[in-house]
Structures are given as C-alpha cells and as structure tokens.
Amino acid sequence: MFKKVFTAAGLATVLVWVVSAQSDLKSVVDKSMKAMGVENVKTLTISGEGGDGAVGQPYSPFSDRWRWTANKNWVRSVDFDAKAWRDVRDRSEGESANQCGGAGTTCPAPSQNGAVAVTTANNFSNQIQFAMLPLGFLKMALEKNATVSKEKKFTVLSFPMENGTAYKTNVKGFINDQGLVERVETMIDNGMLGDIKWDVTFSNYKDFGGVKFPTSIVQRQGGPKILEMAVTDVKANQPVDMTPPAGRGGRGGPGGAAKGGDGKGKGAPPEFAGGGAGKGKGGPGGPGGGGRGAPAAIESEDLGGGFWLVTGGYGAVVANFKDYIIVIEGPSGDMRADQIISEAKRLVPGKPIKYVINTHMHFDHSQGLRDFVAEGATIITNQGNKGYFERALATPHTLVPDNLQKKNPKPKIKVEYVGDMKKITDGEHEIDLYKVMNSTHNSAMLMAYLPKQKILIEADEFNVLNPTPTAPVANPNQYQINLLANIERLKLDVDRIIPIHLPNPATRKVSLQELKFSAGKS
C-alpha cells in the first residue's frame, strides 16, 4: 500500500504518491467494509441504551459527562443513502437526585417516553455525527476522497470539513488491522473552551447476523462524554421510516451551551445536540438572553450608590469602586461581553475593570469571561471551581479566534476564590458574595447581595415565571424553593432580585414576594 518510490525528480515522487493514495483509499475502504460485513448495507437498526449530554451545563465542572439525559429503549435507525437517522427513546433525568445541572427548568427533568427525533446530515455537526458511525465514516471518507496514512497499528483516513464559512477542520478515522473502525475524531470550536476534540470510540465489536458492530459507542466533546450507547442488537437492511415526527419534532437532543444573550435569545442550536436533535427547535439550551428578534439596545439602569444594571441581553451589574470597576457576570461570549465592558467604561471612565464576578461555570454565564481577561480582569468565583477556569479559559482558540486569542494567545488566567461568603468593599461600596447552598443547578453557585441597595443578583436559581404569579404557585420549582431558603438562612433584607436572565421588560422590579409566590409560599 505504501511503497516508497524513489525517483530523481521530486515532482514525480509526489505524483506517484497521489495516485497510490487514491487506489489505497478504495482498497482500504473495501477491505474495511468487507471485514465489518457492511458492503451491501443500506440501513442499520441499532438498539440499546445510554444517554447524551448538554455541553456546558454540568452540575459539577469536573464531571466526566456533560449534563446527562438517560436514553432507555433506544432505537437508532440509520439510512446510509439518505444520510439520515431516526431516534426513538425513553428519555429521563440522567443525573443523580438533586444534582441536575442546567439546560432544564426542573430537577429532575421530566421524563418522556417514546421521544422521536429525525436528523439529516445536512449541516456540519450532523455530518460529523454521521461520520461517527463506522459505516458512515467509511462512506464519507470515500465521498470526500480521504487521504490514507499509517499511524502505529492503524490505517488512518483523513478528510477536510468546513463548518460553513466559520472554519475548516479535518475528520480522521482509525482502522485497526482487522479492518474495524476503532475511532473517529475531529477538532471543533467551542466558544468557551476554544479548539476542542470531538471523538468517538467504537469498542467490543460483535457479530450481529453477519454485520460486525461495536457494542460500545462513546462520544466525547472537549473531554466529557456527550453520547454513550451500549448496543444490544443490530439489524441490517430493515425498512426505516424517516418521516419527521408530528408537531415540532418531539423533544430534540439536549442543547449545548446557550447562545442567547446577544439579543438572539434562542436556546442552543440543534447542531449541538449529542443524540441527534429533533427537527425544529433543537434541545433546551440555557434560557436565552433578554430580547427576542432584533438585538435590544444596550442601556443601563442606575441602581444607586455607584451601581448600574446593564440590560440588552444577559444582565450584568457594574460597580464603581474607588480605584477600579467590578462587573458582576461575564456571560454569553465576546459580543455581549464587549457590550458590557464598553458600557462599564462609559459609566465609569478612566478606571480599569479589576474584577469580574462569575455566578457559575455554565457556559452561557461564563463564555464572556475571556473577554474580561483580555481587559486584564481577575475572575472571582466559588472555590468549588478551583482550577477549572485557569485551565478552561487558557485553551487555544485558533479555529475561531476571539478577542483574547488575538490579544494574547497564551494568557495567564487570574482567579480568586470565594468560600461560603466574602465581603468586597472599599469602605463606601459593598458587594457580599454568598455560595448558594444545596443548589440543584450547579455545585459551585454564587449569588451577590448589595446591602446598601438591598438588591440580590442571582443566576438560574430563579428565572421569573410567566405570567408573574400573584399567589403561591402549585408545584413550585425546587430551584426557587432553595433560593428562598438561602435568603432566609442568611436573613438577607431583599428589596429587589435581579435575575441574570432579566425579566421582560428588563428593568422590571422583581420583588422578594414574587420569589415567594414562585416558590409556592405566601
């Protein structure tokens, strides 16, 4: 396969290599298909169980899985000619009790039996998903005219892929000496983590009526698992139905980090889904930012005493301390962080932004932190995140360079930690930071209290209900019950709550009574 051809002319050598690689590709793919018994396979019906994860929304920053949804009675039917697949599965909470994570409004998340989603490999991420099946990979390698090389015991097929106009990457698949595809990997951009590896490992191949198929499929994105399936049965060439489910496509896969907050206010796009997004809405990402439709104007509300609320997306609070500015929350990404930073500088000219306070590590609440780092800011977060941001925010962002990548490709991330409580004051201004105890949303959650203004700033523990309750609600959400318990435990005198996911209109005053009603209390 890889005869080295030595000639006097370098050009001739190159030509020989190209021709040789093309014939190699066909023979490698043929051999692999034969080894797996899939030469004549048009469809596969794969049964098993497992789960999938919502990127950027884990309960703990150090979890080995993204925020997990369990899939039982999972049947994935793949039509390889149509490059489409249908998932039918019973979906339920995949995290432990009272430790759910984000990307949902309740803990535990509601179960859904027989959830149906049909996905077509019509965009970048779904094409990668298709390539993350052994036969899907071989078909794409042929179609994309993959190059062939050798890495240790593996024959490696590699082809380029474009994510729209955003960036180019490569997809690589590793075929072992028995002709079985063992691994497929690529590098993708994640707004928070930068260049991350998305890979799938196929192991414990078994013979299912002549077709060899892995009984273990594990996909990881940026480290944690994003999809896992223990395969119990595979049938080839069964009829498969790619009719989209009725309505909005059932519940799609879980969303990734929410992309809202720059005024788009939508959830995560379906291409972030781990287990194949449904048609239509995609998964429930984090709640969107302020506005829907056109980006809201960047405005700020004077909270008094040198504090302002910045609206027009995810909320942030600017504090004018004696020698510097403190900003509470660096959400969404460069676009929103740029808006908050320029508004802070307009409100408080001539002072540096020394600190940015982070409520929790969910990506929609921390994806703007790198932009604050580019401004020289130190991050303040709960000690439960110790070591996380130093590593997560220092990663290269070469596929889609952000402000920090352009300014300082090897940044040192400065982080200060808060335990259960920390008071920050210059004698005149004061911010009290408290850990939210027993949060079911995130293991290291901070809320900020401004004692002079009697304002509590919190993220995701209370996103206002619609309509606004005027009496105790039935079946209150655990998030709200727990936030109220924290406020009562600390005996905080709260006149107003500012949820980082701002109400509508953004400057509407959310009272403690509104939280009480939302928590089912009078």
Tell which residue, 268, 219, 256, has the closest CA to residue 64: 219
The nearer residue to Zn ion, 45 or 105, going by C-beta atoms, is 105
E strand or H helix at 142:
helix 134-143
49 touches 74 (CB < 8 A): yes
Q: Determine the interface stretch with Zn ion among 141-149, 223-231, 312-320, 356-364 (rule: CB under 5 A).
A: 356-364
Q: Determine the interface stretch with Zn ion among 112-120, 163-171, 333-341, 358-366 (rule: CB under 5 A).
A: 358-366
Residue 281 engages Zn ion in binding (rule: CB under 5 A): no
Least separation in angstroms between CB 261 and Zn ion: 12
E strand or H helix at 205:
strand 194-208
The nearer residue to Zn ion, 134 or 282, going by C-beta atoms, is 282
The nearer residue to Zn ion, 146 or 446, going by C-beta atoms, is 446
Residue 476 engages Zn ion in binding (rule: CB under 5 A): no
Q: Determine the interface stretch with Zn ion among 96-104, 176-184, 197-205, 374-382 (rule: CB under 5 A).
A: 96-104
What is the strand order of the sheet 325-328 is part of?
Answer: 300-302, 307-310, 316-320, 325-328, 353-357, 378-382, 415-418
How many other CB atoms are there within 10 angstroms of residue 434's CB atom?
23
The nearer residue to Zn ion, 441 or 516, going by C-beta atoms, is 441
Residue 460 engages Zn ion in binding (rule: CB under 5 A): yes
Least separation in angstroms between CB 369 and Zn ion: 14
The two tokens of residue 161 are 């892929």
The nearer residue to Zn ion, 397 or 501, going by C-beta atoms, is 501
Residue 102 engages Zn ion in binding (rule: CB under 5 A): yes
145 touches 101 (CB < 8 A): no
Contact partners, residue 141, CB within 8 Å, separation at least 6: 25, 29, 157, 159, 173
Q: Determine the interface stretch with Zn ion among 251-259, 262-270, 329-337, 457-465 (rule: CB under 5 A).
A: 457-465
Q: From CA 522, how far away is CA 516, in angstroms rounded?
A: 6
CA atoms within 13 A on the CB side of 293: 0
Least separation in angstroms between CB 362 and Zn ion: 3
The nearer residue to Zn ion, 95 or 460, going by C-beta atoms, is 460
How many other CB atoms are there within 10 angstroms of residue 154's CB atom?
17
Least separation in angstroms between CB 423 and Zn ion: 25
The nearer residue to Zn ion, 103 or 131, going by C-beta atoms, is 103
Residue 362 engages Zn ion in binding (rule: CB under 5 A): yes
R_g of the chain computed on alpha carbons: 25
How many other CB atoms are there within 10 angstroms of residue 271's CB atom?
20
How many other CB atoms are there within 10 angstroms of residue 12's CB atom?
12
Contact partners, residue 331, CB within 8 Å, separation at least 6: 261, 289, 313, 314, 316, 337, 364, 365, 366, 367, 368, 500
Least separation in angstroms between CB 358 and Zn ion: 11
Least separation in angstroms between CB 256 and Zn ion: 13
The two tokens of residue 414 are 């400065």
Q: Determine the interface stretch with Zn ion among 223-231, 298-306, 411-419, 453-461 (rule: CB under 5 A).
A: 453-461
Least separation in angstroms between CB 441 and Zn ion: 6
Least separation in angstroms between CB 385 and Zn ion: 13
Least separation in angstroms between CB 390 and Zn ion: 20
Residue 67 engages Zn ion in binding (rule: CB under 5 A): no
Q: From CA 504, how far away is CA 508, in angstroms rounded?
A: 7
195 touches 399 (CB < 8 A): yes
Q: Determine the interface stretch with Zn ion among 20-28, 151-159, 168-176, 360-368 (rule: CB under 5 A).
A: 360-368
The nearer residue to Zn ion, 220 or 362, going by C-beta atoms, is 362
Q: Determine the interface stretch with Zn ion among 35-43, 296-304, 361-369, 400-408 (rule: CB under 5 A).
A: 361-369
344 touches 170 (CB < 8 A): no
Residues 382-411 that bind Zn ion (CB under 5 A): none
Least separation in angstroms between CB 104 and Zn ion: 10
The nearer residue to Zn ion, 110 or 305, going by C-beta atoms, is 110
The nearer residue to Zn ion, 66 or 124, going by C-beta atoms, is 66
Size of the site for Zn ion (CB under 5 A): 3
The nearer residue to Zn ion, 189 or 460, going by C-beta atoms, is 460
Tell which residue, 114, 109, 73, 76, has the closest CA to residue 93: 109
Q: From CA 319, how far away is CA 321, in angstroms rounded?
A: 6
Three-state DSSP class for residue 140? helix
The two tokens of residue 72 are 């039982």
Q: From CA 459, how far away is CA 22, in angstroms rounded?
A: 54
One-letter amino acid at 409 equals P
One-letter amino acid at 276 equals G
The nearer residue to Zn ion, 86 or 501, going by C-beta atoms, is 501
Least separation in angstroms between CB 112 and Zn ion: 21
Least separation in angstroms between CB 35 and Zn ion: 45
Q: Determine the interface stretch with Zn ion among 85-93, 102-110, 155-163, 198-206 (rule: CB under 5 A).
A: 102-110
Least separation in angstroms between CB 456 and Zn ion: 17
Q: Determine the interface stretch with Zn ion among 155-163, 190-198, 359-367, 404-412 (rule: CB under 5 A).
A: 359-367
At which residue do the structure tokens 């600190």 appear?
Answer: 355
Residue 259 engages Zn ion in binding (rule: CB under 5 A): no
459 touches 477 (CB < 8 A): no
Which residues of the chain form contacts with Zn ion (CB under 5 A)?
102, 362, 460
